[in-house]
Structure 1
Amino acid sequence: MMEALRKRLVELLDGGWAHVTFDAAVADWPQELQGRKPKGASHTPWEVLEHLRLAQWDILEFSRDPHHKSPAFPEGYWPETSEPPLPDSWGRSVAQFKLDLDALKALVESPEMDLFAPFPWGDGQDLAREAMVAADHNAYHLGELMTLRRMLGI
């Protein structure tokens, strides 16, 4: 039963099913559009990508490091600039998101990790909850990236 749950949580983190995958949402963004905010949008693609990375990183670190200090909310979960500061910033953010996602999935897959035992730190959070929060948050903002793609004609 637990192995089946671990498998489902990893599948949820990977996206798909009724959700877009991370790779599909971030693929082939022209550099000149990464920092553009279409009329009616709340954020640029860069802001959304970095928000995804920062939030997932925080969830990962909270889940594995009792000494982790989360960024200030909400400003610590958004980039300082509305566009990538360097030409390779988009690619580096994508790569780091994937590394952190793999690390979170490895925690979920580890038989040594009790999915439902509250962390000794925090306010009763457990790994299953954190994995679902990450998957839910990612799905929401990946949908936002897909909307931005359409608004920008990608």
Structure 2
Amino acid sequence: MKDTEILIHELKKLLNGGTAHAGLKDALNGIPFGVLGERPYGLPYSIWQLVDHIRIAQWDMFEFSKHGNHISPKWPDEYWAKNPEPKDESEWMGISE
């Protein structure tokens, strides 16, 4: 296998998940909507804020990779949801599905 083929193969494995960690969908499966605003174990962010942070960061990396003129959100303020919980279930479902 050529180096580029190996790289493509490994990237596909990482993007599809199922290697060393659970995919985001599996990790979020079954979390009740009512607990999304809670901060587990005294952490500084709620479950919702952590999940939305992942969404924002992945979007930023994807856009940066697609467009050379992409402007990233301001770090760290624009990488975290301001509210500790989603505004409604449809906002949560947009991320968790």
Q: Same fold (TM over 0.5)?
A: yes
1:89-136 per-position Cα deviation (integer Å, ceiling 9, x unaligned): 1111235xxxxxxxxxxxxxxxxxxxxxxxxxxxxxxxxxxxxxxxxx
Amino acid at match of 1:28: G
Q: Tell me the residue number matched to 2:61.
A: 59
Q: 1: distance between equivalents of 2:82 and 2:42?
A: 21
Out of 18, 25, 30, the residue aligned to residue 28 of structure 1 is 30
Q: Give the stretch that moved more between structures: 56-65 or 1-10.
A: 1-10
The question of whether the paired residues in 1 share the 8 Å contact of 2:40 and 2:47 is answered with no
Unaligned 5+ segments in structure 1 are: 96-154
Percent of counterpart pairs with the same letter? 35
Root-mean-square deviation over aligned CA pairs: 1.4
1:10-58 per-position Cα deviation (integer Å, ceiling 9, x unaligned): 2112332221211211112111011111332231110011000000000
Amino acid at match of 2:49: E
Unaligned 5+ segments in structure 2 are: none
Question: TM-score, normalising length from structure 1?
Answer: 0.57
Count of residue pairs the alignment pairs up: 95
- Per the TM alignment, residue 72 of structure 1 is displaced from its structure 2 partner at its CA by 0.2
Q: 1: distance between equivalents of 2:76 and 2:16?
A: 25
> Helix, strand or coil for the counterpart of 2:73?
coil
Q: 1: distance between equivalents of 2:86 and 2:8?
A: 35
Question: TM-score, normalising length from structure 2?
Answer: 0.87
Out of 65, 73, 81, the residue aligned to residue 71 of structure 1 is 73
